[in-house]
């Protein structure tokens, strides 16, 4: 498979031993020359954007705790709880890999997700990485906020409950759906392409599913198995 299509899900961790969503896993994805590397963003009580999959870290709700409190627990490899800013600084050295920046759904509600989306966009802009970043979210409100802020922003909606036509009409320029959504809606990839939407699927770890989506012309495949995908 063209390496430009392969997006490492939470970095390249599965076959490298690096923790998911760590600077180490991001660096592995960069050094493997993946087309993209995906990571998850949550916002702390004191407004830091941190990289972690869950809304909780070390048993603490991220949005209700300060970064200093959260970072008392380190990642398994000894890293600090990563900051978005550290990810962006590293990314400046690897311009050939796109960043797939997922704004997580905030437990306190849509307004908090929108705020995290806006602050993420501002930080990406500050580092001059807007052309290298695809913003993704399960929060429909967050995706709408991003396209309202920047009509050129690369944005993909994750939930899978909206057809390509609905996204196009809302001004959202891409979709990143669970692969089963494309199996249930076999005309959606073709439709999305005809509307000029960018297309992506998560989390595709099986060769036969990758091959089926590639045949349908998908733009990106998000996978825990980037080494395998790049070998196809
Ligand atoms: Mg994610």
Q: Which CATH number covers residue 221?
A: 3.20.20.190
Residue 92 is predicted with a pLDDT of: 98
Residue 1 is predicted with a pLDDT of: 79
| d(CA 102, ligand 1 centre) in Å | 6
Q: What is the pTM of this model?
A: 0.98
Residue 124 is predicted with a pLDDT of: 98
Residue 2 is predicted with a pLDDT of: 86
pLDDT in tens, 191-216: 999 999 999 999 999 999 999 999 99
Contact indicator for 111, 50 with CB cutoff of 8 Å: no
Residue 219 is predicted with a pLDDT of: 97
Residue 4 is predicted with a pLDDT of: 87
| DSSP code of residue 150 | -
pLDDT in tens, 84-118: 999 999 999 999 999 999 999 999 999 999 999 99
| d(CA 10, ligand 1 centre) in Å | 7
Q: Residues with Cβ < 8 Å from 218, sequence gap 6 or more? A: 5, 182, 189, 199, 200, 201
Q: Residues with Cβ < 8 Å from 224, sequence gap 6 or more? A: 9, 10, 13, 14, 203, 205
Give pLDDT < 70 ranges for the chain: none
Residue 195 is predicted with a pLDDT of: 98
Cα–Cα distances (Å) from 124 to 8, 54, 55, 129, 174, in that order, read 19, 22, 21, 5, 19
| d(CA 38, ligand 1 centre) in Å | 6
Instruction: Return the closest-CA partner of residue 120 out of 40, 28, 37.
Output: 40
| d(CA 128, ligand 1 centre) in Å | 22
Contact indicator for 137, 117 with CB cutoff of 8 Å: yes
Q: Which domain holds residue 57?
A: 3-230
Instruction: Return the closest-CA partner of residue 105 out of 160, 154, 142.
Output: 142
Structurally, the chain folds into a number of domains equal to 1
Q: For residues 155 and 32, what is the distance between their CA atoms, to the nearest angstrom?
A: 24
| d(CA 203, ligand 1 centre) in Å | 9
| d(CA 164, ligand 1 centre) in Å | 21
Instruction: Return the closest-CA partner of residue 43 out of 93, 86, 107.
Output: 107
Instruction: Return the closest-CA partner of residue 165 out of 145, 143, 187, 146.
Output: 187
Residue 3 is predicted with a pLDDT of: 87
Residues linked to residue 43 through DSSP beta bridges, in sequence order: 49
| d(CA 55, ligand 1 centre) in Å | 12
| d(CA 175, ligand 1 centre) in Å | 14
């Amino acid at each position: 498979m063209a390496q430009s299509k392969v997006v490492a899900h939470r970095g390249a961790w599965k076959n490298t031993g690096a923790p998911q969503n760590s600077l180490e896993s991001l660096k592995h994805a960069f050094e493997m020359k993946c087309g993209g590397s995906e990571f998850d963003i949550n916002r702390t009580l004191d407004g830091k954007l941190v990289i972690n999959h869950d809304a909780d870290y070390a048993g603490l709700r991220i949005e209700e705790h300060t970064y200093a409190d959260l970072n008392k627990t380190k990642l398994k490899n000894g890293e600090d709880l990563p900051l978005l800013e550290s990810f962006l600084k590293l990314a400046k050295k690897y311009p050939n890999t796109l960043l797939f920046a997922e704004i997580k759904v905030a437990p306190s509600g849509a307004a908090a997700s929108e705020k995290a989306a806006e602050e993420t966009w501002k930080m990406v802009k500050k580092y001059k990485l807007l052309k290298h970043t695809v913003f993704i979210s399960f929060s429909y409100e967050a995706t709408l906020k991003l396209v309202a802020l920047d009509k050129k922003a690369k944005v993909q909606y994750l939930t899978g409950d909206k057809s390509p036509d609905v996204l196009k009409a809302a001004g959202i320029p891409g979709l990143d759906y669970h692969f089963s959504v494309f199996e249930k809606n076999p005309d959606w990839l073709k439709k999305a392409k005809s509307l000029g939407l960018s297309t992506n699927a998560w989390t595709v770890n099986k060769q036969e599913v990758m091959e089926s989506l590639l045949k349908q012309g998908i733009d990106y495949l998000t996978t825990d198995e980037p080494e395998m995908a790049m070998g196809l």
